[in-house]
Amino acid sequence: MFKDLDVILHSQLRLAVVSLLISVKEAEFTYLKEQTKATAGNLSVQLQKLKEAGYIDIEKKFKDNYPQTMCRITPKGIRAFEEYVENLKAYLTVKPKN
């Protein structure tokens, strides 16, 4: 009935990040920080976790002399998100009494 929810994705900030990356395909650290209103420290930690899980790729570059962290969703990340959403549905809908 209730399938286990992906613990990586069942986190407000990580879910928001993945959700954004699925929409935009590529986003800077600062953009994600603005959109999610997360603190930089928290975002940094959660991005590492998403990377470790293989859900996102992180590319570090320089732009206009400043460091720039670019993030992209991976196919694995897309699959995980889709499965998470699917599993979550069972928790959100009213069940028939059986």
Instruction: State the binding partner of 45 from its own copies, DNA, none, CB within 5 to 8 A by kind.
Output: DNA
In the sheet with 27-28, reading across from the earlier edge strand, the strands are 27-28, 66-73, 56-63
CB 20 within 8 A of CB 52: no
Query: With respect to DNA, which residue has the nearer C-beta, 25 or 42?
Result: 42
Does the protein bind DNA through residue 17 (CB under 7 A)? no
Binding mask 76-95 for DNA (x = CB under 7 A): --------------------
d(CA 6, CA 77): 11
Residues lying near its own copies in the complex (CB under 8 A) are found at 1-2, 4-5, 10, 12, 15-16, 19-20, 22-24, 35-37, 85, 88, 90-97
Question: How many helices (DSSP H) and strands (DSSP E) are in the chain?
Answer: 4, 3
Phi-psi region of 25 (alpha: psi -120 to 50; beta: other; left: phi over 0): left
Binding mask 30-69 for DNA (x = CB under 7 A): x-------xxxxxxxxxxxx----------x---xxxxxx
d(CA 15, CA 63): 27
List contacts with DNA (CB under 7 A): 7, 10-14, 28-30, 38-49, 60, 64-69
